[in-house]
Amino acid sequence: MEQKRAQWGSRLGFILAATGSAVGLGNIWKFPGKAYEGGGGAYLILYVAIVLLIGMPCMLSELAIGRASQSNMVDSFKRLGHKKFTWTGLVGWVAAVVIACFYFHVGGWVLRYVYAYLAESKEVYADPLGFFYGVLGYDSVTGASRFPWETILFAFLFTAASAYIIIRGVKGGIEKFNKVGMPALFVLLIILLVRSVTLHGALEGVMYMLKPDFSKINGHTLLSALSQAFYSLSIGMSIMVTYGSYLPKEDDLEKNTLVVCVMDTLVAIIAGFIVIPAVFATLGSESVGKGGGFAFVSLAGVFREMSGGVIFGFLFYLLLLFAALSSCISIIESVVAFLTERFGWNRTKTTLVSCIILFLAGCLYTCSQAAFDIKGIWFDFVNGITHPAFCDAMEFVTDRLLIPLCSLGCCIFVGWVWKPESAVAEAERCGKKFRMAKAYSFLIKYVAPAAIIIILAVSLFTGTTLS
Ligand code: PHE
């Protein structure tokens, strides 16, 4: 049964949707902390170079596979005549499934904090860490645990919003949402940027981000920047293949890739210039960190210290909410696209059922944070089989294994099997010459796969986390 495939309504629609996917929590709560550790300006230079040399060729390859095959990632390789690479698509799809489980829940925490800054900022300020533990179902005073049902309810609302957008379709749901969500996100970024850099004492943080301190760059910084680029550009999760498959033939892949990569990197850098100067000005540079703990706990201290902090806190979590939602819908879209296309299932029912299952599985993510001792399983060659907390195991599986493996499969496929010329031809279908074709072919054949193999090897043979 051949159905007419969905398509983006306009080039801008695609760019906003792909940027929406790329701009996520990774940009806002991971990038600034990593930039701080990596010597401010030095890290920015390194990161931009990685995006240009490795991120862009990989993204363009995924978009080209999608548009050429007109198919979801799992089936795309068969469509292009190379069934043997179906594993690559499956790995990307499984990565999408696992990330969706926890993104629903982290999205719920963000929503919980939007509400907290509206209604309970006093409680947050009084004990930021205790409040965060409370959100996760752990009472830090008595040590008692309980099922965090309010937070789960917020996660459910976030899941329902994502499902609703997906059910509305590619043009009527995803594109429409991003056309409002992305400009709103940029407005919020600018407001927060102005507030942050005008804080008394912020200049030191701004200078830190501008002055390149290359002594802080080492092998680990380099690899951690590499894996940040993959995660941040939404590569290796089957998303860009799916989004690329909805692109019309006359669209310019080279330009689209460039715009999306520039926008994603710009947001990450702006987030760096919001977070770092604000922390320098209020709590002091030693409080800079990254991840959920930093965003929910340490930043509460920052908002408490600044005038108008409650409003800016509210706006900050609203910004996180837009970023999380637009990323989340892209991941659900790729989960659902495969199921509906492969099995001919109905889009609405498939979305509802998969969202419910993934949401339920994701409850383990929230519950294993602090309240309950739920273990997962992980293997690396240094520590052998270990049993980290379930939530950590979920992130290890995606960051350390599935995302790099899927990206590697795509690079090898495009570089050596389908051949860069096919991707270049796909990019030139719009009638314009692909100016960087030579550089692209070299990067996708040699540089990108080598970088990914190193990431995989370091993750598995040294047991270090690069995220
Ligand atoms: N690019 C996203 C980020 O930076 C990663 C992501 C994409 C996560 C899609 C989930 C879904 O956070």
Nearest atom of ligand 1 to the alpha carbon of 234: 1
Confidence class for position 4, pLDDT limits 50, 70, 90: confident
Confidence class for position 3, pLDDT limits 50, 70, 90: low
Write down the CATH number for the domain with range 11-462. 1.10.4160
CA 45 to CA 73: how far, in whole Å? 32
Whether residue 407 has pLDDT greater than 50: yes
pLDDT of 383: 87
Q: Half-sphere exposure of 352 toward its Cβ, with a 13 Å CA cutoff?
A: 4
- Report whether residue 25 contacts ligand 1, using a CB cutoff of 6 Å: yes
Whether residue 75 has pLDDT greater than 50: yes
- Report whether residue 178 contacts ligand 1, using a CB cutoff of 6 Å: no
Read off the pLDDT of residues 347-368 as tens digits, 9 standing for 90 and up.
999 999 999 999 999 999 999 9
Region of 70 on the Ramachandran plot (φ > 0 left; ψ -120 to 50 alpha; else beta): left
Phi, psi of 218 (to 5 degrees): -140, -175
Read off the pLDDT of residues 8-17 as tens digits, 9 standing for 90 and up.
999 999 999 9
How many other CB atoms are found less than 10 A from the CB of residue 416? 12
Nearest atom of ligand 1 to the alpha carbon of 233: 1
Per the prediction, the chain carries an average pLDDT of: 95
- Report whether residue 55 contacts ligand 1, using a CB cutoff of 6 Å: no
Residue nearest atom 12 in ligand 1 by C-alpha distance: 24
How many other CB atoms are found less than 10 A from the CB of residue 453? 13
Nearest atom of ligand 1 to the alpha carbon of 324: 12
From 166, 234, 406, give the residue whose CB has the most ligand 1 atoms within 8 Å, as the site to mutate.
Answer: 234
Closest CA to 273 of 203, 182, 183: 203
Distance from Cα 182 to the centre of ligand 1, integer Å: 15
- Report whether residue 327 contacts ligand 1, using a CB cutoff of 6 Å: yes
Distance from Cα 381 to the centre of ligand 1, integer Å: 28
Read off the pLDDT of residues 437-448 as tens digits, 9 standing for 90 and up.
999 999 999 999
Closest CA to 275 of 290, 292, 297: 290
Question: pTM for the full model?
Answer: 0.94
Residue nearest atom 3 in ligand 1 by C-alpha distance: 24
Distance from Cα 314 to the centre of ligand 1, integer Å: 22
Rg (CA), the chain: 21
Distances (CA, A) of 73 to 40, 64, 238, 410, 414: 37, 11, 6, 10, 14
Q: Half-sphere exposure of 229 toward its Cβ, with a 13 Å CA cutoff?
A: 30
Distance from Cα 184 to the centre of ligand 1, integer Å: 18
Q: Determine contact, residues 466/223, Cβ cutoff 8 Å.
A: yes
pLDDT of 267: 98
- Report whether residue 27 contacts ligand 1, using a CB cutoff of 6 Å: yes
Closest CA to 66 of 256, 273, 299: 256
Q: Determine contact, residues 238/89, Cβ cutoff 8 Å.
A: yes
Q: What percentage of the chain carries pLDDT values higher than 90?
A: 91
CA 259 to CA 255: how far, in whole Å? 6
What SS3 state is found at 449?
helix
Domains of the chain, by residue range, sit at 11-462
Distance from Cα 31 to the centre of ligand 1, integer Å: 12
Q: Averaged over 314-324, what is the pLDDT?
A: 97
- Report whether residue 22 contacts ligand 1, using a CB cutoff of 6 Å: yes
Distance from Cα 329 to the centre of ligand 1, integer Å: 10
Cβ burial 342-360 (10 Å sphere, 16+ → b, else e): eeeeebeebbbebbeebbe
DSSP letter string over 327-352? HHHHHHHHHHHHHHHHH---HHHHHH
- Report whether residue 330 contacts ligand 1, using a CB cutoff of 6 Å: yes
Write down how long the chain is.
Answer: 467
- Amino acid identity of 128? P
Residue with the two structure tokens 């594109």: 175
Whether residue 290 has pLDDT greater than 80: yes
- Report whether residue 103 contacts ligand 1, using a CB cutoff of 6 Å: yes
Distance from Cα 192 to the centre of ligand 1, integer Å: 21
Contacts of 420-429 with CB under 8 Å at 24 or more apart are: 420/444, 420/445, 422/64, 422/68, 422/80, 423/60, 423/61, 423/64, 423/65, 423/68, 426/64, 426/67, 426/68, 426/253, 427/60, 427/64, 427/252, 427/253, 427/254, 429/249, 429/250
- Amino acid identity of 460? L
Read off the pLDDT of residues 292-312 as tens digits, 9 standing for 90 and up.
999 999 999 999 999 999 999
